[in-house]
Amino acid sequence: MNRRYRRTIIAGNWKMNKTPAEARKLVEELKPVIAKAKWCEVVLCVPFVDIPIVVRLLKDTRVAVGAQNLHQDESGAFTGEVSGAMLKGAGCKYVIVGHSERRQYVGETDALVSEKVRAALDAGLRPIVCVGESLPQREMGITKDLVTLQVKTALTGIGVDQLKKIVFAYEPIWAIGTGKTATAEQAAEVCEHIRTVIRKIYGARPARSVTIQYGGSMNAENSEELLSMLDVDGGLIGGASLKAKDFIAIVNAANQ
Ligand code: PEP
């Protein structure tokens, strides 16, 4: 974390978990602690159907609500899809874009991710753009090349004013939901590389203000070490965001 230049953001990604009733229970457990976090911003990225109840429960707090996906078009005949304007209207501030599970299971490409980043910004949402390599890609030594391409493509056509609204999440696929965390050094190396890519496009000052999170089995035990790295400005947390005790421990580690 480097709070001098950028915000630390801890975001929970609930994935396809929690009915509205379960969401209410979890938020009621989390709220007394996460609503008091001063030194980091807390975001809950919840399933679409949970957005209304979570927005309502967190309405008087600084905790933000996010979605996990949006459609790239403003409106139209896209059965089952949800637009940025709908998410904004429902009270979301953030939206995850290009999560590896969507790249892997729904076939989202870098080009589509780039369209979704623009759609999110146009709707007044802050996209959390996920990038990261698979294990074979890491073993082939192409992590940085791949991440460079993902970051550059996501930023196509994005001006410096809009850059401020974008959050990146470095999420090595081999660490997501596997219990295998990247070491703090591995996480920091790629987060720093992402900042270098951004610096080469926009210059040093805009690049140092961008929040770059790490995601991949971050938990109560390893969060403090990961967040101690200067270029790791927070976390995108899947599994550990579903249990109040674990998520609170991560928020506390970021809020020191
Ligand atoms: C994620 O879903 O973005 C994630 C990092 O999951 P987990 O923390 O469970 O690895």
Residues linked to residue 97 through DSSP beta bridges, in sequence order: 129
- The verdict on the CB of residue 217 being under 6 Å from ligand 1 is yes
Which pLDDT value is given to residue 177? Answer: 84
Q: Which of 1-5, 60-64, 157-161, 195-199 has the lowest mean pLDDT?
A: 1-5
How many separate helices (H) and strands (E) can be counted in the chain? Answer: 12, 8
Q: Residue 130 pLDDT more than 90?
A: yes
Q: Which residues are catalytic?
A: 99, 171
pLDDT tens per residue across span 173-228: 999 988 888 899 999 999 999 999 999 999 999 999 999 999 999 999 999 999 99
Q: Residue 1 pLDDT more than 80?
A: no
- The verdict on the CB of residue 171 being under 6 Å from ligand 1 is yes
Residue nearest to atom 2 of ligand 1 (CA): 238
pLDDT tens per residue across span 137-171: 999 999 999 999 999 999 999 999 999 999 999 99
232 within 8 A of 226, measured Cβ to Cβ: yes
Mean pLDDT (the chain) is: 97
Cα distances from 49 to residues 30, 87, 138, in angstroms, run: 19, 11, 36
Provide mean pLDDT across the span 218-246: 97
Atom number of ligand 1 nearest to Cα 101 = 2
Angle among Cα 61, 66, 67 to the nearest 5 degrees reads 150
Cα separation, 31 vs 61, whole angstroms: 9
Cα 185 to ligand 1 centroid, rounded to whole Å:
18
Which ranges constitute the DSSP H helices of 45-154? 51-57, 84-89, 100-105, 110-122, 135-139, 143-154
Candidate of 14, 15, 130, 226 to mutate for ligand 1, largest count of ligand atoms within 8 Å of Cβ = 15
pLDDT tens per residue across span 76-105: 999 999 999 999 999 999 999 999 999 999
Backbone angles phi, psi at 171, to 5 degrees: -130, 90
- The verdict on the CB of residue 177 being under 6 Å from ligand 1 is yes
pLDDT tens per residue across span 183-198: 999 999 999 999 999 9
Provide mean pLDDT across the span 56-61: 96
Which pLDDT value is given to residue 256? Answer: 86
DSSP 66: E
